[in-house]
Amino acid sequence: MKRWMWSVTVVTVIVVAVQVLSGCGSAADPPQPATMKLGAEANGSSKLLAHGQMLEISLAGNPTTGYSWTAKEGGAPVLRSSGEPVYTSESTDATLVGGGGTYTFSFEGAESGTTRLELEYHRAWETGVAPLESFTLDVTVE
């Protein structure tokens, strides 16, 4: 009987040691929040991000028409852009010309505060012309 109790104690100590060493239950390194992914349906809304959380906004567009999505107001310093928007064609057939796709913007919640993110779908050479479409999002980073 004593041998059985000793075995249970040893196993318990090993399990606890593994959890402590792997950081389970530790608040020292909280998990990174999931990326918030939004589309056109979020236009005009407000969202709350955690500090360090990623925000992805995907909007339909077709660069073969001359139109493209750009950031009019990128939300700095509250939001940090992760670079230029990435365009992904809807068609997997490289021989098709003129098909649309999706522009994806990526931002990180960089500083606490509130900002307005403004994106415009326009032709860069058409100055003084209203954008064909626009997207706004009020973002608060905590």
* 78-97: pLDDT as tens digits: 999 999 999 998 876 666 66
- 49's torsion region: left (phi>0), alpha (psi -120 to 50) or beta? beta
How far apart are alpha carbons 20 and 42 in whole angstroms? Answer: 41
What is the pLDDT confidence band of residue 13, given thresholds at 50, 70 and 90? very low
For residue 30, give the DSSP letter. Answer: P
The pLDDT of residue 90: 84
What the block records as the tokens of 115 is 């900002």
pTM of the model as a whole: 0.73
User: What is the residue whose two structure tokens read 């020292």?
Assistant: 28
Q: Do the beta carbons of residue 75 and residue 113 sit within 8 Å?
A: no
